[in-house]
Amino acid sequence: MLRQYRMFAAYNRWANAQVYAAAADISDAEFRSDRGAFFGSLHRTLNHLMVADRIWMKRFTGTGEAPTSLDAILYEERHALAAARKTEDERIIAWTGALDEARLAANFTYSPVSQPIEITQPLWTALSHLFNHQTHHRGQCHMTLTALGKPSLGLDLIYFLRSEGREWM
């Protein structure tokens, strides 16, 4: 499972780079316009992804920022958000690279932002959620970009594996 999670971390960085590159070509009004995604705009959805990743990474590592609201806007400016995304993706890659099987299989306990309860589950299930959550909301970013008339993005894992991700094949 470690190899798979490390692959997902690399894929996550690649897919995020594709979305951010596409977002760089739209106007600020388009970036902030509500296009019907769960968080409305591309700006708010990309901020949500940063929020969620930071919350999970704080839970996993005990370090870093952990916003207290899932719809927090951490970055108003697109360039600052893009720079933070690159840093967070590298953090996820480094952390998954340092994991071992015992840690991955062990339980960990956390409290959701939305409820003041404790949840205990195996770390691997929460890590699976982290990557699935990214994919889910990147799909909404893709939808937002196509709703703005932009070309469709090839974000499938197989496209990563056939290009920058050849080491995982």
Over residues 51-102, the pLDDT tens digits come to 999 999 999 999 998 999 999 999 999 999 999 999 999 999 999 999 999 9
pLDDT of residue 83: 98
CA dist 74 and 81 (Å) reads 8
Handedness of CA 129, 151, 28, 83 (dihedral sign): positive
For residue 129, the Cα-to-chain-centroid distance in whole angstroms is: 10
pLDDT > 70: percent of the chain: 100
pLDDT of residue 36: 86
Whether residue 105 is predicted with pLDDT greater than 90 in this model: the reply is: yes
Average pLDDT (108-117) is: 93
**Stated pTM of the model:** 0.96
Mean pLDDT estimate for the chain: 96
**Among 101, 121, 95, 94, which residue's Cα sits nearest to residue 109?**
121
pLDDT of residue 140: 94
Q: For residue 38, count other CB atoms closer than 10 A to its CB.
A: 11
CA dist 141 and 138 (Å) reads 5
Whether residue 108 is predicted with pLDDT greater than 90 in this model: the reply is: yes
Whether residue 4 is predicted with pLDDT greater than 90 in this model: the reply is: yes
Average pLDDT (6-35) is: 96
